[in-house]
C-alpha cells in the first residue's frame, strides 16, 4: 500500500502524538491482519509512504531499501543559488539529543555513512528547487545534508533559518518544503517494476509560481 502523506501528520504515534498514519490505517481497516510501515517520513515531509500488508512484502522491501535497489526521490526548495547540476553529498551523520530532549542529527566524522545525490531542477533568484535522491536512509538525512552544504530547506524548523521560515509563514506557507515525490522499485512479491509519483502539494506549487513571478 502506498499513500500520499500530507505534511504535518506523523507516521506513527509517540512523542506527543497518540495517533499517526499507521494507527489511522489500522483503525480504518480492522479486517487487515497485518499493516506495517516500510519506512518513515518526518512529520513535516509530505509524499509517498509505503505500508506493507504482508510480512513477506515487508521483509522484501526492507532488503531492497537496505541494498539500495529502490529509488526514493524528493523535491526540496532550498535557500541559496544551487551551483552544480548534480552533486553527491556524503557527510557521515550521527543522532544526538538536545537538553530539552529533542532528537537531532548532525554531521560527525564518526557517524554513519550517508549518501544523497542532489540535482538542480530550477533557480528562483535566492532560492533553488532541487531533487534529492536517497542512497542511504538516515534520519533527517536530506535536511542535514542540505543544511550542512549551506542550502537549508525552506520552512525547516530544526535545521533551517528561522527568519526565512517566519517570512514564508507570514505569506501563508506554513510547512517545510520537502516532498517525497517518486518511488522506483520492483514489486516485492511479483518483481514487476513500479514507478510511483505524487505531484507537489498545492501549497508548494503556488509558492513556486509566486517565486517565478517575482
Which residues are within 8 A (CB) of 188 and not within 5 positions of it... i.e. 6 or more apart?
Answer: 52, 56, 57, 60, 61, 64
| pLDDT value for 16 | 61
Written as nine digits, the cell of 4 is: 500520499
pLDDT average, residue stretch 195-213: 96
Is 81 among the catalytic positions?
Answer: no
Tell if the pTM clears 0.75, that is, is over it.
yes
Active-site residue, from 42, 85, 157, 162:
42
- C-alpha closest to that of 7 among 211, 170, 153, 112: 153
| pLDDT value for 66 | 82
Amino acid at each position: 500500500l502506498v499513500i500520499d502523506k500530507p505534511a504535518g501528520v506523523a507516521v506513527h504515534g509517540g512523542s506527543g502524538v497518540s495517533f499517526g498514519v499507521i494507527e489511522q490505517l489500522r483503525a480504518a481497516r480492522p479486517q487487515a491482519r497485518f499493516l506495517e510501515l516500510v519506512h518513515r517520513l518526518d512529520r513535516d515531509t509530505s509524499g509517498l509512504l509505503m505500508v506493507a500488508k504482508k510480512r513477506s512484502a515487508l521483509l522484501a522491501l526492507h532488503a531492497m531499501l537496505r541494498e539500495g535497489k529502490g529509488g526514493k526521490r524528493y523535491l526540496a526548495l532550498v535557500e541559496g543559488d544551487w551551483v552544480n547540476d548534480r552533486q553527491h553529498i556524503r557527510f557521515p551523520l550521527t543522532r544526538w539529543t538536545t537538553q530539552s530532549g529533542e532528537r537531532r542529527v548532525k554531521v560527525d566524522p564518526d557517524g554513519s555513512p550517508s549518501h544523497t545525490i542532489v540535482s538542480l531542477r530550477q533557480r528562483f533568484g535566492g532560492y533553488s528547487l532541487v531533487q534529492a535522491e536517497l542512497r542511504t536512509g538516515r534520519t533527517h538525512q536530506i535536511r542535514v545534508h542540505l543544511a550542512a552544504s549551506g542550502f537549508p530547506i525552506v520552512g525547516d524548523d530544526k535545521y533551517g533559518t528561522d527568519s526565512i521560515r517566519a517570512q514564508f509563514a507570514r505569506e501563508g506557507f506554513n510547512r517545510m518544503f520537502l516532498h517525497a515525490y517518486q518511488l522506483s522499485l520492483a514489486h516485492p512479491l511479483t518483481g514487476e517494476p513500479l514507478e510511483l509519483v505524487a505531484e507537489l502539494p498545492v501549497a508548494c506549487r503556488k509558492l513556486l509560481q509566486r517565486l517565478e513571478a517575482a
